A and B are shown apart, each in its own frame.
Chain A
Amino acid sequence: MVKPGRPSYTPDDRVPYGTPSRRLRPPKTLVGPEREAFVTLVAASPQGQFVAGDMDLLISWCEATVLARQAAGELTAAGGPVQQDGKTNPWFPIWRDCVKTLSALAIRLRLSPQGRNPTARASKKTVAQLSYYEEMALQESADDEAQPN
């Protein structure tokens, strides 16, 4: 049933006019799919969630994400974790370790539902979709150092 009346206002983390974005940019050393994973994660998270001090954890997250995807792809290509001779595919422990690492980092970086909302108080704030220009800015490195945009 449709609720009567106007829906209540839900704020998002849109950057106000003329204010620079506070999102982290990937370092120059991060390239390829790891860099894409970084930009995707930062763009999908509320601004201000990550600070320069989180950079090492974030990079580890991106590397683990890409390696987990690669291992999962290899396992699929091989037809599953068990080989024809009955032995375990060597990619299986790699995939498992990556998922464990991601699971641990997700709590530290507050990425999982539990990490995002450790208390019962749910924030009504949503993440605003970035404009394409803001995504272009995120793709650029910040002089090898983690600098807010």
Chain B
Amino acid sequence: MTKPSRINPVDEEALRRALDLERKSDPQRAVWLDEQVVKVGWREAGKAAARRQQYRNLRLRPWMVTPSEVNPDSEDAIGYEHRGVGRAAQLLRQLLASDLSRFEPNPIAALEAEPEKENAPA
């Protein structure tokens, strides 16, 4: 039996938050997510939830990719710039530089809140 790989606590928190948000957004989606948690595990279900949350919050078109789906050094393939791989990677680099997760449900709000977090008293 293989031991499940450990997950970064920042990613874990973001995935759980994405699951919660996605469950609250739509009762039917909540049922589907609960099924997914049983079928493929909470981590994969969380990734699906994070992807959908990012799609909604970044107002992406169906053919675009989210920051959770790319690598920080990903680039646009020639002729496929409309998929937004380069932009997603750019956004992912900003998230990682701010110690945020790639699965952050609302990347823009999280990045905007980051300076406030730094200034907030401990």
A interface residues, Cβ below 8 angstroms from B: 14, 17-20, 129-133, 136-137
Q: Are B82 and A17 in contact (CB under 8 A)?
A: yes
B6 within 8 A of A: no
B63 touches A133 (CB 8 A): no
Instruction: Report the Cα distance A94→B61, complex, angstroms.
Output: 43
* Of B59, B81, B90, the contact of A131 (CB 8 Å cutoff): B59
In the complex formed, the residue of A with least CB distance to B81 is: A20
Is B64's CB under 8 angstroms from A18's CB? no
Partner of B60, one of A19, A20, A131: A131
> Which residues in B have their C-beta under 8 angstroms from that of A132?
58-60, 87, 91, 108
The reply to whether A130 and B59 form a contact with Cβ atoms under 8 Å apart is yes
Cα-based distance from A131 to B59 in the complex (angstroms): 5
In the bound complex, what is the Cα–Cα distance between A19 and B108 (angstroms)? 25
**Smallest CB separation, A144 vs chain B (Å):** 21
**Chain B stretch 57-110: residues in CB contact (< 8 A) with chain A:** 58-61, 63-64, 81-82, 84, 87-88, 90-91, 108
Q: B107 — nearest CB in chain A belongs to which residue?
A: A132
- Please state if B64 and A20 are interface contacts (CB–CB under 8 Å): no
Whether B82 lies near A131 (C-beta < 8 A) is no
For A136, the chain B residues whose CB sits under 8 A away are 87, 90-91
Q: How far is the CB of B94 from chain A (nearest CB, A)?
A: 10
Interface residues of B (CB under 8 A from A): 58-61, 63-64, 81-82, 84, 87-88, 90-91, 108
Min CB gap A112→B, angstroms: 27
Complex-state Cα separation, A62 to B60, whole angstroms: 27
Question: How far apart are A128's CB and chain B's nearest CB, in angstroms?
Answer: 9
Chain A's nearest CB lies how many Å from the CB of B30? 26
CB distance from A138 to the nearest CB of B (A): 11
Asked if residues B63 and A17 are in contact (CB atoms below 8 Å), the reply is yes
Q: How far is the CB of A23 from chain B (nearest CB, A)?
A: 14
Whether A20 contacts B108 by the Cβ 8 Å rule is: no
Give the shortest distance, in Å, between B24 (CB) and chain A (any CB): 22
Can you list 20 A-B pairs with a CB-CB distance of less than 8 A? A14-B61, A17-B63, A17-B82, A19-B82, A20-B81, A20-B82, A129-B59, A131-B58, A131-B59, A131-B60, A131-B61, A131-B64, A132-B60, A132-B87, A132-B91, A133-B84, A133-B87, A133-B88, A136-B90, A137-B87
Give A131 to B107 CA distance when docked, in angstroms. 13
CA distance A146 to B58 in the complex (A): 26
* Alpha-carbon gap, A20 to B76, bound state (A): 14
Q: Which residues of A contact B64 (CB under 8 A)?
A: 131, 133
